[in-house]
Amino acid sequence: MKPIRLLASLIVISLFCVLPAQAQETPKLAVSDLGISYVFGSPITFQARLLNLPGPVSEAHIFFRSEGETITRVAPVSVNPDGLASFTYTFDQGPLRPFAQVRYSYQVKLQDGQEFSTEEFFFPYVDNRFPWKEREAEGIHVHWYAGEASFGQDALDVARQSLQRGQDLLITSPTAQIDVFIYASLTDLQQAFETGGATWAGGHASPDLRVALVSIAPGPEQGLEMDREIPHELAHILTYDLTQEHYSQLPVWLREGIASHLEISTNPDYPRAIAAAAEKNTLISFNSLCNSFPADSGSAFLAYAQSESFTNYFIDTYGQTALIGLIQAYGDGLDCEQGATRTIGKSLTQLQVDWQSTVLGINPGLASLGNFAAYLTVFGTILIVALLNAFLTKGGRNAR
């Protein structure tokens, strides 16, 4: 009988351990009349009716955050006697992420101290300024508002072809549906970016949201623009599928280089920009393109051009397997020099010298000299100052 009594005692003790934890859980409130109203970029109004409140409300709050964000916004909410809660967000705590799911819930404290909360709800914060048309196939959802049905179908066909080419190169597959939003003007696209608190010159991808935004106007050039813009942004999403949370550890030149490599129609101005920079000895060091691209448009254009050419050279020289190995090395946290060294036994600096020699025909000695031009200039300046100072000092002594 003793084992049975011991077992019974353990069960009672376990119950006493569990019950207090359960009692601490905040009771859930039922809601009705959920509503979200906004014009993209303008204040957002949240509304809900909190049901079966057992007493007068002392205070209430709404908690909300955009997908991919770690910070939850908290704001006080007014609650009417009939339980209707309303709150308007004016972006005073920062913009919401465009095209992200926004999760939100309510928490209420009664005058007698009781606390209640609702389940978590969500809504997609999309650009509702335009009457979007849609076409969908094979996990790709294309949205556009200017142009006929044929425009959307052409974009969908390019997207499907682009994904296949990207999968073949990166040996990966999309993990979920991808949405492509096509704006008819660069102004419309940039306004969407500014709403999210950032600016970009052209298209943009949010890989973790699986959303690509591009600017393509219907017309004679639409095919060429689709062949460039859509593959470029989809490549970022596929690269994210391959690397997941390590995506941000990849050098910017590599991310953009892969995206440019997968464009169906290449930019004819890229080779001209590189040739002009090589002639003026103003090529950008790839080590300086690891974390970001230059802010000014001219240097940024050269950075894109170099990244495409350099990535093409790497793939042509070392192959697809080496490219995947390079991506994995950087995903493992190695820096720009170490990632290249682990993959092919050469540093990034040496790779740039090889690229300049092979692709641009620049003498390796001159390329190395160019890399040290800034140091030579500083050294020369210091030397001149030292000689001038010595001359003046000697002259002063002779005058005495």
Residues 157-209 have pLDDT tens digits of 999 999 999 999 999 999 899 999 999 999 999 888 776 555 555 789 999 99
Final residue of a structural domain among 245, 264, 283? 245
- Over the stretch 285-297, which tens digit does the pLDDT of each residue have? 999 999 999 999 9
Q: Which residues of 355-366 are buried (b: 16+ CB within 10 A; e: fewer)?
A: bbeebbebeeee
Residues 35 and 89 in one domain: yes
385 phi, psi to nearest 5 deg: -60, -40
Q: Is residue 187 situated within a structural domain?
A: yes
Residue 180 sits in the same domain as residue 271: no
Rounded distance, CA 261 to CA 250, Å? Answer: 16
Measured distance CA(243)–CA(328) in Å, rounded: 8
Specify if 5 maps to a domain.
no
Domain end, chosen from 68, 89, 124, is at 124
Structural domain that includes position 93? 31-124
**Do 216 and 294 belong together in one domain?**
no
Contacts (Cβ under 8 Å, ≥6 apart) of 254: 307, 311, 326, 327, 330
| 286 and 350 fall within a common domain | yes
Instruction: Region of 214 please: left (phi>0), alpha (psi -120 to 50) or beta.
Output: beta
In a domain, 38, yes or no: yes
Last residue of a domain, one of 91, 124, 157: 124
Question: What digits encode the pLDDT tens for the residues 213-270?
Answer: 999 999 999 999 999 999 999 999 999 999 999 999 999 999 999 999 999 999 999 9
Residue 202: closest CA among 177, 230, 174, 224: 230
DSSP label at residue 79: E
Q: Which of 59-63, 108-112, 152-156, 193-197 has the lowest mean pLDDT?
A: 193-197
CATH at residue 175:
3.40.30.160
Q: What sign has the CA pseudo-torsion 305, 306, 307, 313?
A: positive
Say yes or no: 133 and 240 in one domain. Answer: yes
Is 135 found in the same domain as 112? no
Question: Any bridge partners for residue 46, and if so which?
Answer: 36, 87
Task: Answer yes or no: is pLDDT of 108 > 90.
Answer: yes
Q: Do 134 and 236 belong to one domain?
A: yes
Pair (203, 290) in one structural domain: no
> Element (H or E) spanning 192, and its range?
helix 186-195
Q: For residue 93, name the pLDDT band (cuts at 50, 70, 90).
A: confident
Question: How many domains does the chain fold into?
Answer: 3
Residue 214 shares a structural domain with residue 329: no
Q: What is the pLDDT of residues 351-388, one digit of tens each?
A: 999 999 999 999 876 544 444 444 444 445 555 555 55
pLDDT (tens digit, 9 = 90+) per residue, 66-86? 999 999 999 999 999 999 999
Cα 284 to Cα 274: distance, rounded to the nearest angstrom: 10
Cβ atoms of 128 and 40 within 8 Å: the answer is: yes
Residue 6 pLDDT > 60: no
Q: Is residue 203 part of a domain?
A: yes
What pLDDT digit, counting tens, does each position of 302-323 carry? Answer: 999 999 999 999 999 999 999 9
What rounded mean pLDDT belongs to the chain? 88
CATH number at residue 105: 2.60.40.10
